[in-house]
A and B are shown apart, each in its own frame.
Chain A
Amino acid sequence: MATATQTQAPKRDTFEIQAWRFMRWSGVLLIPLVFGHLAYIHIVNSVAVIAGADWVLQHRWAYLNVRIYDAFLLWFAALHGFNGLRYVINDYIHQGGLRRGLTIASGLVLVIVLTLGTVAIVASPGLTSFWGGWTRF
């Protein structure tokens, strides 16, 4: 009697397959996040309305929904962007040492950007409301 034999170990997704999949779904998610941000700041308003740090605290980060939105934008854009940079480094830099060095350096920049951005969003003073920040100036 023939018995079914398992010839292959169950496949687990490798890091590269997970990264490939992440680039698709994070890219789709970034479309509304990024266009929402650009539409509000650069189309409905313009950089002319931004007066300084106090303006940001009063008109943007006073609202919890804006802080959450900016945190999502920061994390998804950073991870998507730096993984893309990793692809570019791997495609064009073939010398092992230089590739390693650039990958480590870009990883450090990623950590710095995420740290600076997250601390600013979370620790800035002046959070007063749950919902708002839709003003046309």
Chain B
Amino acid sequence: MTTLIGTIRESLRYKGREGQIAWMGHRLAGLGTLLFFVIHVVDTSWVFFAPELYSEAIALYKSPLFLLGEVGLMAAVIFHAINGLRIAVMDWRPQLWKYQRQISVATFAIIAILFVPAFIIMAGHIIEILSSGAGGVAGL
């Protein structure tokens, strides 16, 4: 546990700029996506194992907190996918390493460009769901 706290502290202190931000973001987005993935596979398996429980899980996904989480998940996946593509390309073509900073900045720009339309469309869905009263589960 001390190594974990030390790692977090030193990661925040270390001035690694774009490359380090991309590296930390990749880990955080990957771990967050994995956590959601595990929950999502378990609740989807209830279609077969426990259909009534599946209805409750879907009602929870239509609550404000989970709708917000859905937008965060979209951001995490876009970040992890595009930054992961950068990692694969850089490993494949080491002659690009001298441009690593510019490529990292370009990667952030592509992530932002992809996220904006996704955010606008998903915000539209959220407004529709909440105003139609379909957003179940009181208090969330």
Contact = CB atoms under 8 A, between A and B. Distances in A.
A52 B74 contact: no
Given A43-B118, A53-B46, 10 more contacts: A31-B81, A35-B81, A78-B41, A82-B34, A85-B34, A91-B7, A113-B37, A117-B41, A119-B45, A120-B49
B42 A84 contact: no
B128 A124 contact: no
A109 interface: yes
A84 B33 CA distance: 11
Interface in A34-89: 34-35, 38, 42-43, 46-48, 50-54, 56-57, 61, 74, 77-78, 81-82, 84-85, 88
Contacts of B42: 113, 116
Contacts of A74: 41
- Which bracket fits the contact residues of A? 35 or more
Interface in B65-81: 67, 70, 74, 77, 81
A13 to B, nearest CB: 15
A124 B62 CA distance: 24
B55 A48 contact: no
Nearest to B3: A94
- Chain B: interface secondary structure? helix
Given A42-B74, A56-B47, A119-B45, A48 B27 contact: no
Given A38-B74, A54-B51, A123-B48, A47 B58 contact: yes
A111 B126 CA distance: 34
Given A42-B74, A77-B37, A116 B45 contact: yes
Interface residues of B, number: 43
Residue among A35, A53, A124 with the highest chain B CB neighbour number at 10 A: A53
A27 interface: yes
B71 to A, nearest CB: 9
B47 A84 contact: no
B61 interface: yes
Contacts of B125: 42, 46-48
Contacts of B138: none
A131 interface: no
A42 B41 contact: no
